[in-house]
A = this chain, B = another copy of it.
């Protein structure tokens, strides 16, 4: 393993992206997200993801010079056209208007269109909670997941993420999970290692349950939580697809033309302002949320992002570690 400071990791990421031709603004925004993932030890969303950025570019599926355009769609809706770039800069471009609208209206939506997407949603959720707002976000991906009762891939791994700001400098309550039973990368890992996958992860191309990782990758993944998870996955297709005038996971996969690039679609983000919901009694009521968190941890339940925040503490003092092979690969790309 190679250990490096967060500053060195940032420089490495920026060097790779600049060398690939990404604009200065795209490079900065992408690096912010990649370093946040590495810092919190979400390794699959850390520096490793730069390889995806590079391969997506090689496939001709991302615009390195994209300059997002912000549209004031309605009093409660801001729309950002990412212009075929990665999602990060589009999110940054839309955030000030989203927070302004949420504070004014009480609730507002940010619809990002035409973006290439590879990142965890918690980075964006955290940015919204830092403005004192409650946030909910979701997006489709590529059609890899069968609906409950079905046999063929139709939904994406369709993540949903939620954030709740906390007082006194405490990190926000955030969850961010795929509505698939497991990440696709985990199934690929099982295939590479020749290990059977657990029951419930997927079905083969005939729609039969299987523990053969390769058969699942050729067949379809399943959602978490049976028909309930499947219903949520369908909701995400709808509200982060047709509702915002953007692609479903099936349409994103068709757009890919077998290139294996990152998905191309939209993203829906909602922001709610507790101060508009609660007025002068906001502080009092938000204290009751703290009582809920205390009741969770007191009985041994973990808050969803606890591990990430612990990793963050470590990384801020000790830096981050990546495998030698990844380090060499990134150096060659830089």
Contact = CB atoms under 8 A, between A and B. Distances in A.
A221 interface: no
Contacts of A326: none
Copy number in the complex reads 2
A177 interface: yes
Interface stretch (A8-16, A22-30, A37-45, A237-245): A237-245
A277 B177 contact: no
Interface string A231-249: 1001101110111110010
- Among A111, A251, A301, max chain B CB count under 10 A is at A301
Contacts of A75: 75-76, 104-106
Majority DSSP secondary structure for residues of A touching B: mixed
A245 B148 contact: no
Interface stretch (A59-67, A210-218, A255-263, A268-276): A268-276
Interface stretch (A50-58, A281-289, A308-316): A281-289
A2 interface: no
Contacts of A244: 277-278
19 contacts: A75-B106, A105-B105, A106-B109, A107-B270, A109-B277, A134-B239, A150-B300, A151-B299, A151-B300, A154-B295, A162-B231, A225-B226, A225-B229, A230-B301, A234-B292, A242-B286, A243-B277, A244-B278, A245-B281
